[in-house]
Amino acid sequence: MMHFMASRVRRMLFLYKNNKNNQNNVDSKTNQDVKSIPFDKKKFDLRKVELLRTVGTGTFGRVIVVHDKCSQQYYALKVLIIEELVRLKQVEHVKNEKSILMQLNHPFIVKLYWTGHDAKFLYMLFEYVCGGELFKYLREVGHFSSETTRFYTSEIILALKYLHSLNIVYRDLKPENLLLDYSGHLKMTDFGFAKHVKDRTYSLCGTPEYLAPEILQGKGHNHAADWWTTGIIIYEMLVGRPPFYDENDNRLCIYQKIVSGDFDFPDEIVDENAKSIVRKFLRVNLNERLGSSKDSMYEILEHPWFSDICWSDVFQRKLKPPIIPNVQSDGDTCCYEQYFEQDWSEIPLSSISSRNLFKEF
């Protein structure tokens, strides 16, 4: 969960194992959506939450599932070490993430409710998405059917459509950053690389297999980079690995494949409409890429692969999810990996100057 949840080692173990015989036989179940009460910032008190379990760790801190004793709600608390953020020059990066998240309100994007800080840490309180990463479910079955892939893609597309309408480029679309909620719908998380972009930006960021060619070539990129990555995600869900990869994890080799735009589908992928939309998203030439112009959303929504999709039903979460997480409650943590728990007393106090950098956080 968040940017630092899934290690690259874990991804490599999944991508390069032999999974040709895996079948997508995940059974759908029915579950009620979790009933929640509106979050009240004025009533929230960090001192009155119970720390339950870590569900993600990284360089700057960790994500912990917490239980608010007052509201009886469960949340995901992202805890970041102030001195580490300052040392690694991530101050503006974190402020930007907060700024973007606080303005977002969409059914397929994780909600940030509250932020704060003390002498050691920054805190970001998110809705807790208990179903775990889409990566987990893809790893378990090897690959998804075209129908399952189309379901998740439709929710991804509406989330990106919303972000792009706000001139926000996401830039970190991958299965590890797509969570399943209690009822099986997607929640996009980790906005550490997201950025307001009106024209184009030149920063190099993202996960190697998912980088658009214009990012690698330093030509500047915009929202079209997200549509490239959408093509990558569709391919990965259908096949079980990204289209541009190297068995030895040679990044130079991966980058060369991306810039050339040369890839193939395995023979077992027979859905021609699915292959068509992937090829259109993975056009190296920006002028030819599906979604590259700001007026091209219609072309995406009307692509033949989505011919039987009612987009208003997608937005209202009326479509039946193909996978229902096996959770017993909205605070269940069984869908996340086990992590060691941090001894917070070991973390030193931050300096006053470091704290002042986040005085408005």
Residue 164, CA distances (Å) to 205, 222, 223, 263, 348 in order:
18, 9, 7, 27, 40
Cα-atom radius of gyration of the chain, to the nearest Å? 20
Of 45, 68, 172, 343, the active-site residue reads 172
313 is catalytic: no
On whether the CB atoms of residues 261 and 213 are closer than 8 A, the answer is yes
Distance CA(314)–CA(298), nearest Å, equals: 16
Which of 256, 258, 300, 261 has the alpha carbon at shortest distance from 279?
A: 261
**Helix-then-strand count for the chain, H and E:** 12, 9
Q: Select from 40, 27, 55, 51 the least CA-distant residue to 340.
A: 55
Q: List the structure tokens of 126.
A: 């998110």
Is 174 annotated to bind a ligand? Reply is: no
Indicate the burial class of 267 (C-beta count within 10 angstroms; 0-12, 13-18, 19 or more): exposed
Find the Cα–Cα–Cα–Cα dihedral 264, 306, 132, 100, rounded to 10°. 100
Which residue numbers belong to the known binding site for ATP?
78
Which residue numbers belong to the known binding site?
78
| Catalytic positions | 172
